[in-house]
Amino acid sequence: MVKEKAVVIIPTYNERENIGRMIEVLEKEIFPQIKDWEMAILVVDDHSPDGTAEIVREKMKDYTNIELSLGEKQGLGAAYARGMKYAMEKMNADWVIEFDADFQHDPAYIPQLLNAAKEGYDYVVGSRYVPGGKVPQDWNFSRRLISSLGSFVARFILFFPFEFKNAPRDLTSGLKATKVKGFLEKIDLDHLLSKGYAYKIEIFYRMVKLGAKVKEIPIEFKNREKGESKMPPKNLTDSLKVVIKLRLQDEKTQSFLKFAVVGFVGYLVNALSLALFTSFSWPEVLCWLLSTELAIISNFTWNNLWTFAKEKFTKPSLVLKKFLQFNLTSAGALVIQTVMGTLLTSLFGPEHRQLYLPLIIVFMVLPYNWLMYNKVIWKVGKKDKKGKNE
Ligand code: GDD
Ligand code: MN
């Protein structure tokens, strides 16, 4: 059987004190333990002024499975983008492993990652934030807090509310194995949102969106012994920018924001037409009924044309059927609002009435409508050949 090929990508910038020893450890201690993979090393160096590349070139004389990619220094993300493309295009990698030169990750984790890969996972991540995982002992409180809070915020913004519970724990870990076929090859490495460390968050997110089966294995992240960290000072804000951009690019999020805007417009239609009709001194019931129905029509129309443009229906008979259905679910919202409003008023008194209304809307009506629109009215279901809803 032909062995799958795994390329260990090591980005380096001024790692002359580490890279030689790292290559030796990998070649002499680690790779010999790995029987069922073809192993190779790719060092991605940005013309380090300390001459890191010279040491790599020396090692390339001793071992035939090492390659070196030299380029301009733009940041860790840019270096990995270059390295990953090199590994896929020039080295025929089936898997790539992201790995640091500085021994903060024990090289002995590499066989563990690859074993998990053989179990059928697509993305195997060394994680500091699962049980058994650790950050360096001497990290002080604020450093720990920033790291774990950062992870939490990123996880929350990217995966709330639907996938939050099962979302991965360590989005920025520097140690992982990634499957090429069906996954890494589908990620646009030329247009990553960040050229810095935050590229890790983006690739993680895209892997999850591609449906990768993710396994997090606990790792101990150790202290750097030699050389210095290259993490740029603006890393935190850069990461936050990436996280927010990713979230806003998400289709569901965009639909939700449109849904909120349409809902607000509906509210304005309702309030303004109510004021107009009552100024004609029409019967009170008629004023409420008509203005509410106008709001429903506005909501239906804009949601169909805009929020759910992909699922929109155009066939007149279907529009009619859906519109009637929409009135029904809207009546459901009306019932929720009336029952809850009356209930809260009788429980806590009428003086907070103006508080109950927005609370009911945000916590009950909004989720109810969103659910109904997605699962009933504009559900992704039977579509005709042109991809339109029947
Ligand atoms: N080619 C290249 N270009 N290599 C770089 C660059 C760059 O601009 N910046 C960093 N590197 C290399 C370093 O030489 C090292 O081998 C590796 O990338 C990791 O860099 P460190 O400077 O040691 O990173 P760190 O220890 O601060 O951060 C580690 O932990 C983070 C999570 O806390 C890394 O594993 C990060 O990837 C990880 O996000
Ligand atoms: Mn490091």
Mean pLDDT calculated for residue range 298-323? 96
| Alpha-carbon 99 to chain mean position | 22
What is the percent of the chain with per-residue pLDDT over 90, rounded to a whole number?
Answer: 83
Q: Residue 127 pairs with which residues in a beta bridge?
A: 218
The two three-digit tokens of residue 225, written as one number? 């012994």
**What's the 3-state SS for the chain?**
CCCEEEEEEEEECCCHHHHHHHHHHHHHHHHHHCCCEEEEEEEEECCCCCCHHHHHHHHHHHCCCEEEEECCCCCHHHHHHHHHHHHHHHCCCCEEEECCCCCCCCCCHHHHHHHHHHCCCCEEEEECCCCCCECCCCCCHHHHHHHHHHHHHHHHHHHCCCCCCCCCCCCCCCCEEEECCCCHHHCCHHHCCCCCCCHHHHHHHHHHHCCCCEEEEECECCCCCCCCCCCCCCHHHHHHHHHHHHHHHCHHHHHHHHHHHHHHHHHHHHHHHHHHHHHCCCCHHHHHHHHHHHHHHHHHHHHHHHHCHHHCCCCHHHHHHHHHHHHHHHHHHHHHHHHHHHHHHHHHCHHHHHHHHHHHHHHHHHHHHHHHHHHHHCCCCCECCCCCEC
From the CA of 173, which ligand is nearest?
Answer: 1
Q: Token pair of 351, please?
A: 């003086």
Residue 160: per-residue pLDDT: 83
CA 103–ligand 2 middle distance (angstroms): 8
Specify the range with the lowest mean pLDDT, choosing from 108-122, 167-181, 279-293, 372-386: 372-386
Average confidence (pLDDT) over 187-201? 97
Q: Near ion ligand 2, which residues have CB within 5 Å?
A: 100, 102, 104, 224
Ligand nearest to the CA of 80: 1
Q: What mean pLDDT comes out for the span 342-370?
A: 91
Overall pTM surpassing 0.85 (yes/no): yes
**Tokens standing for 76?**
């860790």
pLDDT of residue 166: 76
pLDDT number for residue 143: 86
Name which residue sits closest to atom 26 of ligand 1, judged by CA. 229
Higher pLDDT, 27 or 338: 27
Is pLDDT at 385 greater than 50 in this prediction? no
Write the pLDDT tens digit of every residue in 212-263. 999 999 999 999 989 999 999 999 999 999 999 999 999 989 999 999 999 9
> 113 alpha carbon to ligand 1 midpoint, in Å?
19
pLDDT tens track for 138-172 = 888 988 888 888 888 999 999 887 777 778 899 99
Nearest ligand to the CA atom of 225: 2
Give the pairing type, strands 176-179 and 95-98: antiparallel
Please enumerate in sequence order all residues whose Cβ is within 8 A of that of 171, keeping only pairs 6 or more positions apart, or say none: 151, 154, 155, 158, 200, 201, 204, 205
Cα(230) to centroid(ligand 1), Å: 6
For residue 312, pLDDT beyond 60: yes
Q: Atom 38 of ligand 1 has which residue's CA nearest to it? A: 174
pLDDT, position 114? 98
β-sheet with 176-179: strand ranges across: 66-70, 37-45, 4-12, 95-98, 176-179, 123-127, 214-218
pLDDT of residue 383 exceeding 60, the answer is no
The yes-or-no verdict on residue 371 having pLDDT over 80 is: yes
Q: Mean pLDDT lowest for which of 136-140, 289-293, 305-309? A: 136-140
Gap from CA of 238 to ligand 1 centroid (Å): 15
Beta-carbon contacts of residue 357 (< 8 Å; ≥ 6 apart): 337, 341
Which ligand has the shortest distance to the CA of 219?
1
Per-residue pLDDT of 74-125, as tens digits, reads: 999 999 999 999 999 999 999 999 999 999 999 999 999 999 999 999 999 9
Best mutation site among 45, 100, 176 for ligand 1 pocket (most ligand atoms within 8 Å of CB): 100
- Rounded to the nearest integer, the mean pLDDT of the chain is 93
Q: Is the pLDDT of residue 295 over 80?
A: yes
- Predicted local distance difference test score (pLDDT) of residue 388: 54
Tell me which residues have their CB closer than 6 angstroms to ligand 1. 11-13, 15, 44-46, 73, 75-76, 79, 100-102, 104, 172, 174, 197, 200, 229-231
Distance 76 CA to ligand 1 centre (A): 6
Q: How far is ligand 1, taken at its centre, from the CA of residue 231, in Å? A: 6
Which is the closest atom of ligand 1 to the Cα of 175?
35
Q: Which residues contact 29 (CB under 8 A, 6 or more apart)?
A: 107
CB-based contact 217:112 (threshold 8 Å): yes
Which has more confidence, 2 or 4?
A: 4
